[in-house]
Amino acid sequence: MTSKSVDNIALQPPAQRNTNQDVSVVYQDLEIDDTGVVSEEPRALDKSTLLKLSSAAFSFFVAGVNDGSIGALIPHILRSYGITTAIVSALYAASFLGWFSAAASNTHLAQKLDLGAMLLLGAALQTVAQVLRAWPTPPFGLFICTFWMASLGQAYQDTHANTFVASRKDTAVHRWLGMIHAAYMAGCLVAPFAASPIASSSSGGDQERLYLFYTVPLVLGVVNLALVLLAFRDTIRFVPTPESSHETSSSGPRVKTPWELAKEALCTKSVWLLSLFFFFYLGATVTAGGWVVEYLVDVRHGELAKMGYVPAGFSGGCLLGRLILPEPTHRFGERPMVFLYCVLCLGFQLLFWLVPNIIAASVAISFLGFFLGPFFATAISVGARIFPADISSTAISFVFVNAQIGGSLFPIVTGVLGSTMGVSVMQPILVALITATGLSWLVVPQALKKQE
């Protein structure tokens, strides 16, 4: 039986690994037996590690509040600025550009900034974005830029928080991944209930109070910033360069440049295969959550005031799925269980489509969210094990960008087709996306399975 030391994935450049690090970030040796199964000694969480994991979870909650509020706030944005729905779609474009900017710059920054510094940069960008929003009707151009800034901050913080949690080589990593991604859905769930009543409040009925809501994510952003400063204070620093580091010998491995890491990531087959899965998965999730209200109102003739709560059922289903399903997924195998969830999602989607009843549709969309819930955390866990350690952070950034492309492209396609063919076109698009998600999962390489 051979022993292999697992490096901290992408939190430090290759030349800086195996130096003195915080005990909560250094991984135990893993044992690979003759069957190729990874086993390890279970390890209790110390207070420092628990604080770091809690900080990571809270950062996802903050991101969920930001993302989950957009749908509820769009009517108020339209009224505040007197713009059309075509112009307001610039918010989604700005958010995508934020993720794209992060993918282009993450590798460069990660070679200069240690883990805590990267998380702090992401938290700070999100907080500044909320500061710029939390005053009466900022210029629309500035308002759009805040979505780019918030997404850029989310990308930095979420990517490295994901990497930190997924790289923990213990038997509870799937539970922690499920928890932090459940925190995101919890933010998405509570955001509409906070955004709608706050933004709707006005003294005379003419002045929109859109900006008042943004004081809520501003406070959350300050708390997020404080948690990062407290939990990751040991790695809020610049990474020493090989020339200035006394611990790097001249005979040691050469540090790869950011372009070399990016090229290696783009030439890695598993990166593209997992990206394809995320492309279809997030496309299905955003399309379902974004167009369900319009579908129920336009096609099923539901009341807008009541149908507005249906997305909360979808987000609530996702939240429960991320809390409940990680354990059976881990226990019975990621590949068969995720594919089974895809089959169940397809069944509930067909129920939503073919049964002309609003109550049945609401229940179906909630179960659809429930079984879609564990996909993100499960796929990230698999990616952390199949990507080479030195390109993991770069690869995850690339995967996230592809996911955002799917999450932006398919809702736009649904809207464009819906304008000429009717919003009912959403249903066959969702069936196709869920089917593509399941098929793309089958081609993702299998990862070594950990045993307790």
Same structural domain, 116 and 180:
yes
Cα separation, 433 vs 283, in Å, equals: 7
Report if residue 408 sits inside a domain.
yes
Q: H-type helices in 9-114, by residue range? A: 47-68, 70-81, 85-88, 90-110
Q: Which of 240, 273, 293 is the C-terminal boundary of a domain? A: 240
Is there a single domain that holds both residue 211 and residue 272?
no
Q: Decide if 295 is inside a domain.
A: yes
Is 404 within the bounds of a domain?
yes
279 and 415 both lie in a single domain: yes
Q: How far apart are alpha carbons 157 and 162 in whole angstroms?
A: 8
| 299 and 224 housed in the same domain | no
Say if 253 falls within a structural domain. Answer: no
The DSSP secondary structure of 182-211, one letter per residue, reads: HHHHHHHHHHHHHHHHHHH--SSSSS--HH
Q: How many residues does the chain have?
A: 452
Query: Distance (Å, rounded) from C-alpha 163 to C-alpha 328?
Result: 22
Residues 77 and 218 in one domain: yes
From 208, 240, 272, the end of a domain falls on 240
| The total number of structural domains that make up the chain | 2
Do 439 and 338 fall into the same domain?
Answer: yes
Q: Mark whether 274 and 338 lie in a shared domain.
A: yes
- Establish how many alpha carbons lie within 13 A of residue 266's alpha carbon, considering only the half-sphere containing its beta carbon: 11
Does the residue 257 lie in any domain? no
User: Does residue 353 lie in a domain region?
Assistant: yes
User: With contact defined as beta carbons under 8 Å apart, do 369 and 317 qualify?
Assistant: yes
- For residue 13, is it within any domain? no
User: Domain span at residue 297?
Assistant: 264-447
The reply to whether 291 and 413 lie within a common domain is yes
User: Are 99 and 282 contacting, i.e. CB atoms less than 8 angstroms apart?
Assistant: no
Q: Residue 295: CB partners within 8 Å, gap ≥ 6?
A: 423, 424, 426, 427
- Are 95 and 224 part of one and the same domain? yes
Q: Are 262 and 394 in contact (CB under 8 A)?
A: yes
* pLDDT at residue 308, as a whole number: 62
Query: What CATH code is carried by the domain that includes residue 181?
Result: 1.20.1250.20
| Same domain as 292, residue 148 | no
- Residue 228 located in a structural domain: yes
Query: Do residues 24 and 49 touch, judged by C-beta distance below 8 A?
Result: yes
What are the pLDDT digits (tens) for 81-119?
A: 888 766 777 787 788 888 888 878 888 898 889 999 999
* Block residue for tokens 């509870």: 172
The pLDDT of residue 208 is: 62
Same domain, 92 and 188: yes
**Same-domain status, 225 and 272:** no
Q: Which residue, 179, 207, 240, sits at the end of a domain?
A: 240
Q: Which one-letter amino acid corresponds to residue 126?
A: Q
- pLDDT by position in tens, the chain (length 452): 433 333 333 333 333 433 333 333 333 333 434 444 444 444 567 888 899 999 999 999 999 999 888 777 777 787 788 887 667 777 877 888 888 888 788 888 988 899 999 999 999 999 999 999 988 888 999 999 999 999 999 989 988 998 888 777 666 777 788 788 889 889 988 887 888 778 767 544 445 677 888 999 999 999 999 999 999 999 999 986 655 444 444 555 666 777 887 788 888 899 999 999 999 999 998 888 777 777 887 788 877 666 767 777 888 899 899 889 988 998 898 999 999 999 999 999 999 999 888 888 889 999 999 999 889 888 988 888 888 878 887 788 788 878 888 887 887 787 778 777 877 888 999 999 999 999 999 999 887 654 44
